[in-house]
Structure 1
Amino acid sequence: MKTRSCFTLMGRALLVLAFSFCPLMTGRALAAESAAASASALENSVVKVFSTLRGPDPYKPWSKAAPQSVTGSGVVIDGHRILTNAHVVGYASQVQIQANGAGDKIGATVLAISRGMDLALLQVEDESFFDSHKPLPRANVLPDVRDAVLAYGYPTGGTSLSITKGIVSRIEFVHYNFPVSGLRIQIDAAINPGNSGGPVVAGDKMIGLAFAGMLNAQNIGYIIPNEEIELFLRDQAAGAPKGKPAMRDVTQTLENPALRSYLRLAKGVEGAVVMKPASKDAQYPLKEFDVITHIGEFPIDNQGMVKLNSNSRVRFQYRVQQLAKNGTLPLTVVRQGAPLKVSLPVSAEHPMLISGLQGNYPSYFIFGPMVFSRATTEFMAAPNGNAPMLYGMSFAGNPLVTRRGDAPDAEREELVVVAAPFFPHKLMNGYSTRFFSVIDSVNGVPVRSLAHLVALLRDQTDELLTFRFQQRDAELVVVPRKDMLAATESVLTDNGIRSEASPDMLKVWNQKTPAN
């Protein structure tokens, strides 16, 4: 009886003890369950993106490049949208997404795109997708160097979701796709092909979007931070995207003591020296040798940098996107020893003689066996990757090299090039192909643009046409006008080309008057 009572008492004690631990055990279980649910929701917000791309062919501007299948990553954000990289869906003829662990792909369309910042928004055809795939929260502050991060995505080497771990290595303000610049975060978590467009997370919030790794380097990956993403989203929400404003003035550092002496600067003056203002207009607020000491209220040091946070500095131009309002930027400069506040006009526009296609297909015009187009950065891909070709063009004084980076002027709105080798035809007998040559004039009239060239050819009545090219070693090409017109149709038929011109150039050509 005593023994039974003893065991009974012991059982009761153990039962009380067990119940006393129950809340603690339940709390831990709940915390673990909550963490697992959070991780599951995060992973459920990451999708794989499948794209079929049909990019331009700058050397056959009448056609598109062969279809290319690519994969990338994306992340669900607010507004029933998916955020990814522009290079994953640019020129896409078809886009599909696939959720983590799902067997089916869902059709999507490109809602908005910024090639400059390599960002794009997708719209999913089946809105019910978002019932079970919630947006991933975004942090509203930049991470600090050494913060731990996780990169989510679908890199090559497997089909399931990949998660890599690392830290923030540094934060910089750099060029993305010329002429656009922005903040870039470097991390040491692995970023491989296929990771592009996937979120990078610190804690339980996204801090940016993976967009690039570095070839021939280990543990170097780059992400686009949320600050840049928010600028993109706000710009799109405005209804008429304007892009990012930027300064176009050339500046240099103020570190060298001899330079400071030359400029007669007081000892305490720090900043960036204006070497070439963006405009020569007398009313333009910046002058050569002005020293920009402050952008807004932010001081600029002698390396042309401003404080980003306690651990980082970036180029002072970073502050333009924060401080520019209504197209103007507040600056403080020192001019001839005296401080001066100025309002600098800034814009996202940056006209160039050789500009990018920006998601469009090249304009062209076929005249007999000759193909004309405007010079673009895409057209320059071949010489850029061929040093001997680039050297030859430079030696000959080809404007594709000598005027690279120039702005348009009254004489040249754009450079017009022979965009392909001459089609085989007796009219071209004895002439070497002028592929990559820039048109200077037709019958002595300087060519300002591709549209101007088409109009000149449309309105000519002379029996012979003379084409001069803008380089030292270029021969003169003389052809009979009527025979060139007659040859155009057979050239198109022989080469399976649908139209003699892109729609915009065809519109110019069809303005031809009956008298001609």
Structure 2
Amino acid sequence: MIRVAPGLRCLSLLGPRIWIRGYQTASPGLLPGDRKGNGLLNAVVKVFSTQSTPDFSMPWQNKPHEYTTGSGFISRTPVGLRILTNAHLVADTTFVQVRKHGNSERFEASVEALAHECDVAMLNVEDQKFWANSDPLVLADEIPQLQDNISVIGYPTGGENLSVTSGVVSRIEMQQYTHAATSLLAVQIDAAINSGNSGGPAVKDGWVYGIAFQNLAGADGIGFVIPTPVIHHFLDSVNSKSGYQRFCDLEVKCQDMENDHLREYYGMKAHDSGVLINKIAPLSSVSGLLKPGDVLISFDDVAIANDGTVDHPITGRINFQHLVSMKKVGEIAMLGAIRDGKKIKLTAAMAAPNYLVPVHSFDRDPRYFVMGGLVFTPLSQAFLQEYGEDWANSAPRRLVNTALYDLPKKNLKEAIVLADVLPHSITAGYQKLVDLRLLKFNGVEVQDLSHLVKLVQKSTGRFFRFELEDDREIVLLADKTRRASQSILRRYRIQAPQYAL
């Protein structure tokens, strides 16, 4: 599980080749390099978003609405002209409007597709008047070079009109995307990127090389851009029959092999290089193929160095996980490894990672189950964030460790937590047991929330017995608990006893 790096923050207010994949080409007679002045700026829009996030401490209700603004731009996508922006700008949104540069009228927009892990969203506007005279920006088919000059266009704080800032590309590497704590390729630039720039295009010679999305808090001149390979991955997936597919991950824990003694122990020759596989997630796509103690030496025939990097034509070296993340779900990858001193070749169908505790819960209603005043919900990082921004230190340590380090298994799909004990005569004495994980119900291990609901509903015994971590337990008389449940729901204004689908 990846934890959000301190300091990084999203930025909503709170001569390259033409991409010729069939839908992203320049307008007839107008190459991106020819776009100057208003011809470029007219494709940039201001985004107005109203967001209402769930209250995971009381999962049957939402928090008050918040109003944010950011940026976006018109581009041609597999499904026609659309607006590209950041997912964090329209996450949990209830109402979105957009306004074109030089226009006073706002138009209602809808979120047509979004991917939280790469922080990209695609918006549509039904009113055709909005699209009149639109000249879409064109995505470059490659990442920029180091020291290339880049301009970021958007609507940052400090004014109402469009703003253009310029800088150079200073670094290209895997970075943590703070919105959903995913590690993907990112471009670092020294142009001023401030709140409100989120979703704006990063442009060079009229071509879009990325989308502004976050900066490093407390540091001047460190902003980050989502590069076009990541955006292409999103758009290609949106255009597929199965819809958006997440980014792939091997779900393995690796160790560098830079120590000669370690290399010799695992049978590596002087010319061999790779990384040691320490641990494999039980539900990983390579579980049963790779084994702990294997040395992964190549991915799709690209050699992996002892520090876990591979050759890259622009950055020089980059972590091999970049190659993994760019694979499509279900796509076959070739893995080279050393096992017991012998080289082997393996093939694996790539898959998105599995989480016992979800990193994000955007655009999903919280799931919960209330029985006799006991409130159960799946543990998520969104739940832990109710303890504040520093939840990794302020939330209960057991739950934090579960969120960061525990993995799902065949018979353990979710970690269920006792989120609250609503005061009532039948729950008297149990209030101190909140924030403990539920392990068993009537002696049966609980796999997920739906499993818990079924166990309770089918129970015919005299007692409900909930076994919690830390060797604690709750016992309730089944019939009395059932009779009291409806009055408890009415007392606490809970509309339904469960949302567990």
Same fold per superposition (TM over 0.5)? yes
Greater percentage in strand: 2
Q: In the TM superposition, what whole-angstrom CA distance separates every residue of 1:298-353 from its partner, at most 9, and x where no partner exists?
A: 22222111122254321012122456684321122233444332213320142425
Instruction: State the TM-score, normalized to the length of structure 2.
Output: 0.85
Amino acid at match of 2:446: V
Pick which of 302-311 and 177-186 moved more. Answer: 177-186
Pick which of 376-385 and 115-124 moved more. Answer: 376-385
Matches within 5 A, 1:444-455: 444-455=443-454
**Partners of 2:185 and 2:301 in 1: CA distance:** 20
Partner of 2:408: 408
Pick which of 184-193 and 435-444 moved more. Answer: 435-444
**Partners of 1:117 and 1:478 in 2: CA distance:** 44
Q: Is the 8 A contact 1:286 1:344 kept in 2?
A: no
**Partners of 1:278 and 1:447 in 2: CA distance:** 20
**Partners of 1:283 and 1:116 in 2: CA distance:** 23
**Partners of 2:379 and 2:282 in 1: CA distance:** 24
Partner of 1:244: 247
Matches within 5 A, 1:347-426: 347-354=351-358, 356-383=360-387, 385-386=390-391, 389-390=394-395, 393-394=396-397, 398=398, 401-402=401-402, 404-420=404-420, 422-426=421-425
> How well do the aligned residues superpose, as a CA RMSD in angstroms?
2.6
**CA offset at residue 441 of structure 1?**
2.5
Greater percentage in helix: 1
Q: In the TM superposition, what whole-angstrom CA distance separates every residue of 1:255-293 from its partner, at most 9, and x where no partner exists?
A: 122222322422111222222244599983323333333
Partner of 1:512: none
Pick aligned residue for 2:489 from 489, 492, 512:
492
2:498 partner SS: coil
**Partners of 2:403 and 2:207 in 1: CA distance:** 46
1:352 partner SS: coil
**Partners of 2:125 and 2:75 in 1: CA distance:** 12
**Partners of 1:303 and 1:265 in 2: CA distance:** 15
Pick aligned residue for 1:340 from 317, 341, 344:
344
Seen in structure 2, the aligned counterparts of structure 1 residues 437 and 355 have a Cα distance that, compared at 3 Å, is same
Is 1:77 matched with 2:75?
Answer: yes
Percent of counterpart pairs with the same letter? 32
Pick aligned residue for 2:301 from 297, 300, 312:
297
Seen in structure 2, the aligned counterparts of structure 1 residues 325 and 469 have a Cα distance that, compared at 3 Å, is closer
**Partners of 2:209 and 2:345 in 1: CA distance:** 36
Pick which of 76-85 and 404-413 moved more. Answer: 404-413
> Bigger radius of gyration, 1 or 2?
1
Partner of 1:269: 272
2:139 partner SS: coil
Q: Is the 8 A contact 1:143 1:168 kept in 2?
A: yes
**CA offset at residue 404 of structure 1?**
4.1
Partner of 2:218: 216
Seen in structure 2, the aligned counterparts of structure 1 residues 88 and 283 have a Cα distance that, compared at 3 Å, is closer
**CA offset at residue 455 of structure 1?**
1.8
**CA offset at residue 94 of structure 1?**
0.2
Seen in structure 2, the aligned counterparts of structure 1 residues 325 and 404 have a Cα distance that, compared at 3 Å, is closer
Q: Is the 8 A contact 1:331 1:343 kept in 2?
A: yes
**Partners of 2:235 and 2:393 in 1: CA distance:** 43
Amino acid at match of 1:415: A
Partner of 1:146: 147
Amino acid at match of 1:194: G
Pick aligned residue for 2:227 from 213, 225, 230:
225
Pick which of 315-324 and 266-275 moved more. Answer: 315-324
**Partners of 1:291 and 1:446 in 2: CA distance:** 36
Q: Is the 8 A contact 2:441 2:464 kept in 1?
A: yes
Amino acid at match of 2:81: H
2:36 partner SS: helix
Matches within 5 A, 1:117-196: 117-176=118-177, 180-196=182-198
Aligned residues: 463
**Partners of 2:493 and 2:282 in 1: CA distance:** 47
Q: Is the 8 A contact 1:147 1:167 kept in 2?
A: yes
Q: In the TM superposition, what whole-angstrom CA distance separates every residue of 1:57-87 from its partner, at most 9, and x where no partner exists?
A: 1111111221111111101000220000000
Relative contact order, higher structure (CA 8 A, sep 6+): 2
Seen in structure 2, the aligned counterparts of structure 1 residues 187 and 464 have a Cα distance that, compared at 3 Å, is same
Q: Is the 8 A contact 1:363 1:374 kept in 2?
A: yes
**Partners of 2:448 and 2:267 in 1: CA distance:** 46
Seen in structure 2, the aligned counterparts of structure 1 residues 324 and 291 have a Cα distance that, compared at 3 Å, is farther
**Partners of 1:38 and 1:324 in 2: CA distance:** 36
Q: Which runs of 5+ in 2 are unaligned?
A: 1-31
Seen in structure 2, the aligned counterparts of structure 1 residues 265 and 152 have a Cα distance that, compared at 3 Å, is same
Matches within 5 A, 1:56-75: 56-75=54-73
Q: Is the 8 A contact 1:173 1:181 kept in 2?
A: yes
**Partners of 1:166 and 1:296 in 2: CA distance:** 35
Amino acid at match of 1:301: A
Seen in structure 2, the aligned counterparts of structure 1 residues 415 and 35 have a Cα distance that, compared at 3 Å, is closer
Seen in structure 2, the aligned counterparts of structure 1 residues 290 and 35 have a Cα distance that, compared at 3 Å, is closer
**Partners of 2:444 and 2:291 in 1: CA distance:** 37
Partner of 2:459: 460
**Partners of 1:105 and 1:280 in 2: CA distance:** 47
**Partners of 2:102 and 2:135 in 1: CA distance:** 15
